[in-house]
Structure 1
Amino acid sequence: MRRRHAMGIALATATLFAGTGATYATGSHALYPVDRTAAVSSTQMPSAGQIAALFDQWNAALATGDPNRVADLYAPDAVLLPTVSAEIRTTRAGIVDYFQHFLVNKPVGKIQERFINIPDPTTAIDTGLYQFTLTQKDGSKTEVDARYTFVYELRGGKWLIINHHSSAVPTG
């Protein structure tokens, strides 16, 4: 009963705020408006090629083996739902920790299929399938096919990852 009540409140809240046309960000217990009007009106729409290049930048950061270089591409309030960890990462320290472990296998990503959506000049979504080649300690290589979504936001003139979801492609 409580769960249904909570879902009803969440739905009512979402409906109320959706009707305002504003964008909202949530903190742990807060809901507050994000003013994007000024940024949107003074910024040109990026091209799909510019957004696609952000993955190449991320992949190049992986190649450095430095988890801090990778984490630098994420916004301070980013959410990472990583491929090989059940833990949702919501802090820079958590993101660095994930990549410290992931980078041990020298991952090299390759896009297999992608769909880029650019809803406004400061937001872009890159979704699709990618494959990682991982090198084990004994030198053997394995390939992991995964689905991904990167949500980017232009902040202070720099495109940052605000949400990254990656999950292994189901078999069968």
Structure 2
Amino acid sequence: MYKFVMVAAVATVLAGQAMAAECTPITEKQVEGLFDRWNTSLATLDPDKVVENYAPDAVLLPTLSNKPRLTQEERRAYFVDFLKKKPQGKIDTRTIKIGCDKVIDTGTYTFTLADGTKVPARFTFSYKFEHGKWLITSHHSSAIPETHS
């Protein structure tokens, strides 16, 4: 019996290590492409295309709303209004952290709106590889506060 327990324990540890070693590979350039995919979906002006980038349980803390968006319907409602401004984002600075099937892309970006207004903001996108693709699991965007001397 002890041999069986020992063999089962070793097999469990090895299986756990094998599972941990099977992370979906991604490069920094590919992470940059995830933002590009999201930004391109904004250009379609179709809120459904934008929402496709988000995991079903994602959290969106948007720039132009105080309300956290916790469902696809809430995220869609936000983008219906936001897309009326025809936003296009441009990354100004970023730091990328890559983990096992998880990525964080954080930094600053500037949105240019249809009327020419520029909105500088801070961002954090976290992604997880699920259902065969990288999806946004959280997205926080906030306007850059006034600078103080």
**Superposition TM-score, scaled by structure 1 size:** 0.73
Equivalent of 1:83 in 46, 63, 67 = 63
What is the identity percentage for the equivalent residue pairs of Structure 1 and Structure 2? 48
State the distance in 1 between where 2:55 and 2:80 align: 18
**Residue 45 of structure 1: how far off its partner (Å):** 2.8
SS of the residue corresponding to residue 45 of structure 1 reads coil
Is 1:68 paired with 2:73?
no
Q: Which residue of 1 aligns with 2:108?
A: 129
Partner residue, 2:98? 118
| Higher RCO, 1 vs 2 (CA within 8 Å, ≥6 residues apart) | 2
For 1:57, what is the secondary structure of its paired residue? helix
Query: Considering only aligned residues, what root-mean-square deviation do their CA atoms show, in Å?
Result: 1.6
Distance in 1 (alpha carbons) for counterparts of 2:62 and 2:78 = 8
Matches within 5 A, 1:14-163: 40-120=20-100, 122-135=101-114, 140-163=115-138
Residue 84 of structure 1: SS of its match in structure 2?
coil
Q: Distance in 1 between matches of 2:19 and 2:72?
A: 25
Residue identity opposite 1:105 in structure 2: K
Instruction: Give the C-alpha shift of residue 37 in structure 1.
Output: 7.4
How far 1:39 moved relative to its partner? Answer: 6.0
Structure-2 separation of matches of 1:150 and 1:68: 19
The change in CA–CA distance for 1:39 and 1:111 in structure 2 (over 3 A counts) is farther
| Structure 1 residues without counterparts, runs of 5 or longer | 1-35
Count of aligned pairs between the two proteins: 132
